[in-house]
Amino acid sequence: MTRQPAPVRPPVVLTIAGSDAGGGAGIQADLKTIEAGGAFGTSAITSVTAQNTRGVESTHLLPREEIEAQIEAVRGDFDVAAVKTGMLATTGVVDLVAERAPDLPNLVVDPVMVAASGDRLLEPEAEAAYEDLIAEARLVTPNADEAEVLTGIEVTEPEAAREAGERLVEAGAEAALVKGGHVSGDDVVDALVSGDAVRTFRHDRVDTDATHGSGCTLSSAIAARLARGDALEAAVGAGIDLLSRAVRYNLDVGEGPGAVHHAVALRNDAARAGTAAAVESVATALAEADAGTLTPSSGPTVVGATPHAETPADVAAVEGDSGAAELRADRGVRFGTAGDPAERLLAAREADPSLRFAVDCRRSDALRSAVDGPVATAEAGADVGVQRAVAAVDGTPAAVEVTDADLLTLVAADADRLAHRVQALSAALSA
């Protein structure tokens, strides 16, 4: 039987950048991120680089006419909704893109000058050529070092980032996002300057060197959002959130520091159904065990985090009735509703990201003694207290004890292990 096609029409994004043989940055990172962001990626390759997670070994610049031919081939066939630039390498290529810029919608300019490894990706004499291109940009996204080259302002703190952003807007850019990843501090602070408005985005710094492709991924994520019709500030915020998650859950590939996880949000969303089913299986095991001796007076709660969880919205839960011992899996699994139990699980994951599932139990000496593994003890259920308690445990804990809440939370890396632990403890306490 012949089936009818059901085509979809995603928005199209064009990336004009260099190729990374290692796949973590450049055109490869752009196309992965654009696809994960719900858009269709097209490309014009400016330079072929022999690089990997350790560094850039060689580069080969394509002729200007070949780069121009790629741009025209894409624009002649596709309805391009956004364009981003990456490695342009030389004055001639920067000038080429600047000449075409008035016809390039939602132009996001990532002024790539130096790779994360420290290797130069732009001829020094080409730095001044960015002036005309920036003047045509919907958004320019320099890191602190690039912002200093472009504006003469040394970006060492958020106020200097704001000043550099204002200078770039004065140069003609509609908006500038001055990134704070290269500025020291426990937090990463990015400054978005648009007209007279300044918005700062602050998030915790991830203790890792695996940031290969971070700039490419952020600018591509923003371009994909703009192509889908998002307002600029919303697109930037979504891109920053994605990059923060992509850096934390980075890809451990290659012999160097590794690359950011370009498709992390897509993979995380795809895991929601499986996470919900796993939470339901633990709830079923708890109900079948008739584990009234385990459940707290507030009612039992089973929670499960998606593999790349960052917020309570990524935590699925089945909750019992307050004041009752009964937990019914058929009540349904919901995301973002668990409150304190979700926060405790996320705090535990900050110290041990392998932990994904948890169930709150009533704290007792008998239960604590029966737990089949290390118990992390926190005086309070606040994030930092639980995180520090889990970090202090030698190995992966089997439970987290919260003394001021009269709770002992069983935790595990997988649902089957947690279900087995619940059943075994229920049987032990009932004997």
* Interval 349-402: pLDDT, tens: 999 999 999 998 888 888 888 898 999 998 865 678 899 999 999 999 999 998
CB 98 within 8 A of CB 172: no
pLDDT of residue 404: 78
Over the stretch 312-352, which tens digit does the pLDDT of each residue have? Answer: 999 999 876 533 345 554 457 899 988 888 999 999 999 99
Over the stretch 283-294, which tens digit does the pLDDT of each residue have? Answer: 888 877 766 667
Other residues' Cβ atoms within 10 Å of the Cβ of residue 70: 18
User: What's the rounded mean pLDDT across residues 157-181?
Assistant: 94
pLDDT of residue 84: 98
Phi and psi dihedrals of 413, rounded to 5?
-80, -25
Query: Encoding tokens for residue 141?
Result: 């996204």
Q: Which residue has the tokens 């602050």?
A: 202
pLDDT of residue 126: 67
Residue 265 has pLDDT above 50, yes or no: yes
User: What's the rounded mean pLDDT across residues 10-24?
Assistant: 97
pLDDT of residue 322: 38
Q: Please state, rounded to an integer, the average pLDDT across all residues of the chain.
A: 90
Residue 94 has pLDDT above 60, yes or no: yes
Q: How confident is the model at residue 183 (pLDDT cuts 50, 70, 90)?
A: confident
User: What's the rounded mean pLDDT across residues 82-110?
Assistant: 95
CB 286 within 8 A of CB 300: yes
pLDDT of residue 284: 86
CB 168 within 8 A of CB 150: yes
User: What's the rounded mean pLDDT across residues 33-53?
Assistant: 96
pLDDT of residue 27: 97
Class of domain 12-262: alpha beta
Of 426, 291, 409, nearest to 341 by C-alpha is: 409
CB 187 within 8 A of CB 151: no
Which range in 4-18, 122-136, 388-402 is most confidently predicted, on average pLDDT? 4-18
Share of the chain above pLDDT 90, in %: 68
Q: Which residue has the tokens 């991924």?
A: 217
Report pTM. Answer: 0.91
The length of the chain in residues reads: 431
Enumerate the CATH 3.40.225.10 domain ranges in the chain, comma separated: 271-430
pLDDT of residue 186: 85
| Reduced 3-state DSSP string for the chain | CCCCCCCCCCCEEEEEEEEECCCCCHHHHHHHHHHHCCCEEEEEEEEEEEECCCCEEEEEECCHHHHHHHHHHHHHHCCEEEEEECCCCCHHHHHHHHHHHHHCCCEEECCCCECCCCCECCCHHHHHHHHHHHCCCCEECCCHHHHHHHHCCCCCCHHHHHHHHHHHHHCCCCEEEECCCCCCCCEEEEEEEECCEEEEEEEECCCCCCCECHHHHHHHHHHHHHHCCCCHHHHHHHHHHHHHHHHHCCECCCCCCCECCCCHHHHHHHCHHHHHHHHHHHHHHHHHCCCCCCCCCCCCEEEEECCCCCCHHHEEEEECCCCCCCCCHHHCCEECCCCHHHHHHHHHHHHCCCCCEEEEEECCHHHHHHCCCCEEEECCCCHHHHHHHHHCCCCCCCEEEEHHHCEEEEEECCHHHHHHHHHHHHHHHHC
Enumerate the CATH 3.40.1190.20 domain ranges in the chain, comma separated: 12-262
Q: How confident is the model at residue 297 (pLDDT cuts 50, 70, 90)?
A: low
pLDDT of residue 323: 36
For the sheet containing 139-140, what is the strand order?
56-61, 40-51, 12-20, 80-85, 107-109, 139-140, 175-178, 187-194, 197-204
Over the stretch 68-89, which tens digit does the pLDDT of each residue have? Answer: 999 999 999 999 999 999 999 8
pLDDT of residue 298: 62
> Which fold does the domain 271-430 belong to in CATH?
L-fuculose-1-phosphate Aldolase (3.40.225)
Of 69, 357, 52, nearest to 213 by C-alpha is: 52
Beta partners for 407? 362, 402
User: What's the rounded mean pLDDT across residues 209-227?
Assistant: 96
Of 225, 223, 145, nearest to 180 by C-alpha is: 145
pLDDT of residue 228: 98
